[in-house]
Amino acid sequence: MTAFAAEKLLFTPATPDIDAIQTIFAFPNEYTVGITSLGYQVVWATLAMRSDMAVSRLFTDTHEQLPRSPELVGFSCSWELDYVNILNLLESLRIPVRATNRNENHPLVFGGGTVFSANPEPFADFFDIILLGDGENLLGNFLDAYKQVRNADKKTQLIHLAQIPGVYIPSLYEVTYNDRTSDIKSIQPVTNAIPSYVDKQTYRGNVLSASTVVTEKAAWENIYMVEVVRSCPEMCRFCLASYLTLPFRTASLESSLIPAIERGLAVTNRLGLLGASVTQHPEFATLLDYLSKPQYDNVRLSIASVRTNTVTQKLAETLAKRDTRSLTIAVESGSPRIRQIVNKKLTNDEIITAAINAKAGGLSALKLYGMVGVPGEELEDVEQTVAMMRSIKKAAPGLRLTFGCSTFVPKAHTPFQWFGVNPQAEKRLQLLQKQLKPQGINFRPESYNWSVIQALLSRGDRRLSYLLELTRHYGDTLGSYRRAFKELRGKIPEMDFYVYQTWSVEQILPWEHLQIALPKSTLIKHLATAESEYSLLAAR
């Protein structure tokens, strides 16, 4: 059975009109990964339900029948390193990878998704159009505007599309640098006909996303996903998931969540509740009661991530009854000082209580997520994380503990975007490994080298496109990036500039012309609060 034949659709595709816009909508990874992306599913269904669109899906390992002469080629991207597959797929479609090398006969190439909404600049030269923000209104506005200039020349099309809020046309903004290897001097529109700033679009409704397809071929087999909340009210100062997607929105229980869940459970018994902080939905307890009904006894329930101090025994019991064995909580650090710096409103007592409740409710495992290399962190803060994990083990004996740990990576549009990666982070990950393993605690560090590449891409500017074209052929190891930097020495800044340097708040950032949730002045205030926290704490 082909991947597409196994799909159970939860929407009715339209029959395309004779003159429908021939479109390829791609996910730059394998089908099993792409079809598990809720964002990809929803955009594909939105396109497929329009009779003025004829949409074909494309993945790295399979595709539907593709049009010979597409007008639009779109990519949904949720992982930075998938840029390699974007370039490969463009070449397989005989489309030049750089927008400047495309002519009137080539389709318009557009991109959307978390990676591009955060910082599209390293990838900007590969795209004609980038859609910034939530697709709910933005996608329809973009397509309607395209139809108005469908038969015009490409330059006219792009200038017209640039008027639509959230539609970013990189080629219409000129970036100048103080010199080839230093920071940005200015970012200006090339014509007065387009706005100086592009505003990310934020959907403010209370009907959030839900799966449009269920399939056994997905990475999470036969799962039906429902978005319970969008963004996060906590606003940890490093957190892209919170700052990029503000404000915090919740799906209406009666008009959105319950009808969506009933629709999904008619075709599968596996339900996933998605969101950065699912248990902070104001009616979460009512939702839990609803899912505890006997009619759902055979449902397997999974929850993305929960706020630590909302882990009650009742929550654990409901999950255990619904075939969930473990729970995931983000604690960031065992050091109260670090949690204060990053604005994580949480105490060690609350973390220990969460573990006790998880065990009492019948769960067998607890996964905790933390971070090393946070601005202001000292070695004793890392040692306090070890002490906290020991305390949890003692308080909830028999509960299988996993500590997943990443290196702090600066993210655009957060108060910590000006900081670099801490080179000591690699040693601190090794210290945690050495200390936690003998305690019988499963330690899962994220690769430090991957964090370096992530930082490079998250703080990169357009000059990196040359580097990305080189590394694609060298492989995606840190060594490949170093080799490419060596080859481009004198033409672009060194790796140190993007990854390790702390930038000045006066500096023009690569994404300065893209207005996301909060203005730069507010982020500077949040940064100052964090810096005053660790200055005060250091003085004690």
- Amino acid sitting at position 219: A
249 CB contacts (<8 Å, ≥6 apart)? 203, 204, 205, 206, 208, 229, 230, 231
pLDDT at res. 324: 86
pLDDT at res. 473: 86
Please name the residue ranges forming H helices in 437-514. Answer: 448-458, 464-474, 478-487, 495-499
Please name the residue that has the structure tokens 């219409």. Answer: 172
Q: How many CA atoms lie within 13 A of 42 on its CB side?
A: 20
pLDDT at res. 1: 65
Cβ atoms of 448 and 407 within 8 Å: the answer is yes
Q: Is the pTM of this model over 0.75?
A: yes
Cβ atoms < 10 Å from Cβ of 490 = 7
3-state secondary structure labels for all residues of 16-31: CCCCCEEEEEECCCCH
Question: Rounded to whole angstroms, how far apart are CA atoms 221 and 426?
Answer: 35
**At the topology level of CATH, where does 222-455 sit?**
TIM Barrel (3.20.20)
Handedness of CA 342, 345, 351, 354 (dihedral sign): negative
SS3 105: coil
Question: Rounded to whole angstroms, how far apart are CA atoms 154 and 156?
Answer: 5
Q: Where are the domains of the chain?
A: 4-199, 222-455
Q: What is the DSSP string of 198-250?
A: EEPB----S---B-SEE-TTSSSTTEEEEE-EES-SS--TT-HHHHTTPSPEE
CA dihedral 432, 434, 438, 439 (to 10 degrees): -10
Q: What are phi and psi of 453, to 5 degrees?
A: -65, -40
pLDDT digit of tens for each residue in the chain (540 aa)? Answer: 688 999 999 999 999 999 999 999 999 999 999 999 999 999 999 999 999 999 999 999 999 999 999 999 999 998 988 999 999 999 999 999 999 999 999 999 999 999 999 999 999 999 999 999 999 999 999 999 999 999 999 999 999 999 999 999 999 999 999 999 999 999 999 999 999 999 999 999 999 999 999 999 999 999 999 999 999 999 999 999 899 999 999 999 999 999 999 999 999 999 999 998 899 999 999 998 999 899 998 999 999 878 999 999 999 998 888 888 899 999 999 999 999 999 999 999 999 999 999 999 999 999 999 999 999 999 999 999 999 999 999 999 999 999 999 999 999 999 999 999 999 999 999 999 999 999 999 999 999 999 999 999 999 999 999 999 999 888 878 899 999 999 999 999 999 999 999 999 999 999 999 998 899 999 999 999 998 877 644 443
pLDDT at res. 357: 96
222: tokens are: 């036969």
pLDDT at res. 186: 97
pLDDT at res. 535: 65
Nearest CA to 123 out of 136, 133, 134, 112 is that of 112
- Amino acid sitting at position 501: Q
Q: How many CA atoms lie within 13 A of 145 on its CB side?
A: 19
